[in-house]
Amino acid sequence: MEFSLLGAALLAVAAVYAVIYWEAARGNAADCSKDLWDVALGSATAGLVTGRLAAMIIAGTNPLTNPGDILIVRSGVDTGWAAVGALVALAVISRRETVAVAAGLSAASLAGLGAWEAGCLVRDTCHGTVTELPWGISLGGSEIARHPVGIYTGLLFLLAALGVMWLKRRTQDPLLVAGFALAAVGAVRLATEPMRSALGSRPTGWYLAAIVVGLSVAVASRYRSQRAR
Amino acid sequence: MVLVVAAACSSNGGTIDAADIDALPEATASDIEALLADSERPVVMNVWASWCIPCRSEAPLLAQAHTSFGDDIRFVGIDVRDSQSNAREFLAEFDLDIFEHYFDSTGVIPGAFGGRGVPLTFFFRQGGELSYLHFGVIDERTLAVHLDELTR
């Protein structure tokens, strides 16, 4: 049995918890009554299950006749549907405080995604496409240098998380924060996707959708707050 | 709910009938060593069984990998500790008869190459040198990187 995937997941969970805890202690928490940690766990679980079911259906495996396959997370989780499942779960759990909760979890989510990507060091899966850059890394027994794309992505998510934390201190507008965070997720994944090896089609459309929706929400929120003044 | 409906409507079978697939030839470790030595292309050898749930899970990925890399890399399946009828049903269900498979009723072949358990995916360079051995279910990114490595 191989536990490296679990190790990367634990890193991500630890990062989410650490940021929620850090922000709560510094008055940077969400203005809502929900327990952010509970919402984060519920949303992440719903996203994981949705993404796994979607990956199975897309691959032609019927989850109703092969329920055991749902547990084989390692063989694929569809990124786009996982994000949709997580966001829907967040909306259902947080109800009337959805925007405040989304803003409250935005930095923690970005940090969690960054830690998950950096977990490639535990899984030995940081390798991307071939590069001639001096910091390229090689697979064991190979001399071919490859982009350490997992590290790039992890660092960019960390940078985005810091950006969201800074934004939360500058503005009282949770919609602006949530929109910025969603756009940041799409932008980071879109920027690093060409450096990842893939077999079939890439989820580029999902990343573009996240950028467009996130930026639209952020711009609309900004426009609305300017008109209210 | 949408996903459940989609699942209920999705077919869970391949495009071919199990009865149309020939019995898998029995092979020994030395047969596979000879195959690797003689192959004019790098070889990806996947060890599977119809009773192995993780194998079911990675089967569609292997079919997709063969579609993308089948011209440059030779794909070989080793069915271990299985029955011929179940093996053919498995291949038909996932349309995996697109590449060659061998039957290893005693399950000794993987051990001869340093593998243990099911599923396993071996990546051999041309000439038979082992490039990488993946234990357990393989994901798309890992498979893609190691396939790319074999083609260079």
In tens, the pLDDT along B14-62 reads 677 877 888 999 999 999 999 999 999 999 999 999 999 889 888 988 9
Q: Which residue, among B89, B10, B24, B99, has the nearest Cα to B56 in the 3D structure?
A: B89
How far is Cα B64 from Cα A207, in angstroms, rounded to an integer? 23
- Alpha-carbon distance of B53 to A102, in angstroms, equals 37
Query: What is the pLDDT, as a whole number, of residue B6?
Result: 56
State the residue range of the domain holding A89.
3-228
Q: Do A61 and B56 touch (CB under 8 A)?
A: yes
B133 touches chain A (CB under 8 A): no
Provide the 10 A C-beta neighbour count for residue B114: 10
> Is the pLDDT reported for residue B1 higher than 80?
no
Residue A35, min C-alpha distance to chain B (Å): 27
Q: Is B1 on the interface with A (CB under 8 A)?
A: no
Per-residue confidence (pLDDT) for residue A1, from 0 to 100: 43
- Name the residue with higher pLDDT: A30 or B143: B143
Phi, psi of B77 (to 5 degrees): -110, 140
Residues B44 and B122 sit within 8 Å (Cβ to Cβ)? yes
Say yes or no for a CB contact (<8 Å) between A198 and B140.
Answer: yes
Per-residue confidence at B3, pLDDT binned at 50, 70, 90? low
Chain A residues whose beta carbon lies within 8 Å of the beta carbon of residue B89? none
pLDDT digits (tens, 9 = 90+) for B72-116: 999 999 999 999 999 999 999 888 999 999 999 999 999 999 999
Mean pLDDT of chain B: 89
What is residue A192's predicted lDDT score, i.e. its pLDDT?
A: 97
Question: Is residue A54 less than 8 Å (CB to CB) from chain B?
Answer: yes
Strands of the sheet with B43-48, listed across from one edge: B100-104, B74-80, B43-48, B120-124, B130-135
CA distance B76 to A206: 34
Q: Tell me which residue of B119, B126, B82, B86 sits closest to B104, measured CA to CA.
A: B82
**Does B114 reach chain A within 8 Å, measured CB to CB?**
no
Mean pLDDT in residue range B144-150: 95
pLDDT means over runs of 10, chain A (229 residues)? 79 94 74 82 94 88 84 83 94 89 93 95 92 94 94 97 92 91 96 92 91 95 81
Would you say A182 and A209 are in contact if contact means Cβ atoms under 8 Å apart? Answer: no
Minimal CA separation from A69 to chain B, in Å: 6
Per-residue pLDDT at A74: 76
- Is the CB of B56 less than 8 angstroms away from the CB of A69? yes
What is the pLDDT at residue B13? 58
| Number of structural domains found in chain A | 1
